[in-house]
Amino acid sequence: MMKFAWDNYRQYAWGKNELRPLTRNGHIGNMFGGLRGASIVDSLDTLYIMGLTEDYKEAKEWVINNLDLNSNGEASLFEVNIRYVGGLLSAYYLTGEEVFKQKVLELGEKLLPAFNTPTGIPRGVINLGSWGWASAGSSILAEFGTLHLEFVHLTELSGNPIFTEKVMNIRKLLDKIEKPHGLYPNFLSPVSGNWVQHHVSLGGLGDSFYEYLIKSYLMSDRTDEEAKRMYYSALEAIEANLVQKSPGGLTYVAEWRGGILDHKMGHLACFSGGMVGIGADDSVPEKRQHYLDLAAEITHTCHESYSRSATKLGPEAFRFDGGAEATGTRLSDRYYILRPEVIESYMYMWRLTHDPKYRQWGWEAVESYSDS
């Protein structure tokens, strides 16, 4: 599957950010402010791990000769971080190739002006050319909360504490700000440091903030006590306010809008089965099995969203109201765009439990891709 995707990207879209499969041409998009080659940078570690040596070497040569960081356009801080910074860091740690270290530190410097706000909460969009932030409005929890892992490593590689200081400042502000029922809303003003509206979700807009808390703790060799405390208190608030059981016995994570529950779960929220699973072992002893069970229940629900659809691939969002459960009841939710979150939870749960059903579910999804 990797070879198929890579060979077609290479043939039709080499150097562009993504391949448009129907028209078979490359696309730059508007998320990366003129940066190119997102698919190449994002694939370096996978190519290397899979032993696709020639493809990896060709990708590395592209980075050496063609990855131009002096673009001049508006870029998503979040997308540049997870794809370019994350991709280059992974490639460097796996291979030790100095070019990846040099490129990632150069790029990291270009992202720092995004934090020049009254609160230190970064703007969502940065102009990479003029070294300043570009857009006003709210900052999104999942975006400014999904910088920590990469920025800590920028400090490790550069010896410059500023990267870690920037993300620790975000965390300290979030820790201290008043939270409704202990929950983190999805929108925050980078000017006032106040929540903009009380919408809480484990799906898009919120998701990876929580994931980065538990992973920050684990990545620190379990020394980052602040991340641990914030993660488990957030998880308790989520369980108390958002986790629901359907009439049919399915456990799901609803969304919260100013105190009113919206009984829907996005495909993006299905990462949470794996997240709760990997955090189970470090919780208080009496809750370890509870969290592992909760992780299994959420993952089961997300599998149901696949198995109950005609294609056996899950919808973008599925609901638990009006009698229907774990199905895309609205036309606007009935599509699938290669999202990995459900498969990701299968993988984590397989590693944690070695229950063969997770491998079987993963294989069923692979067969559904090829049938589609």
Residues catalogued as catalytic = 79, 207, 316, 341
Mention every residue, 6+ apart, whose C-beta is less than 8 A from residue 74.
30, 33, 125, 126, 127, 134, 135
Output the six-digit token pair for 171: 């965390």
Instruction: Answer yes or no: are the C-beta atoms of 242 and 256 closer than 8 Å.
Output: yes
Burial class (CB in 10 A: 0-12, 13-18, 19+), 80: buried
The CA distance from 69 to 72, in Å, is 9
The CA distance from 121 to 167, in Å, is 9
CA 127 to chain centre: 22
Q: Which residues are 318's β-sheet partners?
A: 265
The CA distance from 200 to 255, in Å, is 6
Output the six-digit token pair for 34: 């003129």
Mention every residue, 6+ apart, whose C-beta is less than 8 A from residue 242.
183, 200, 202, 253, 254, 255, 256, 261
Residue 278 to residues 244, 263, 358, Cα–Cα distance (Å): 21, 25, 15
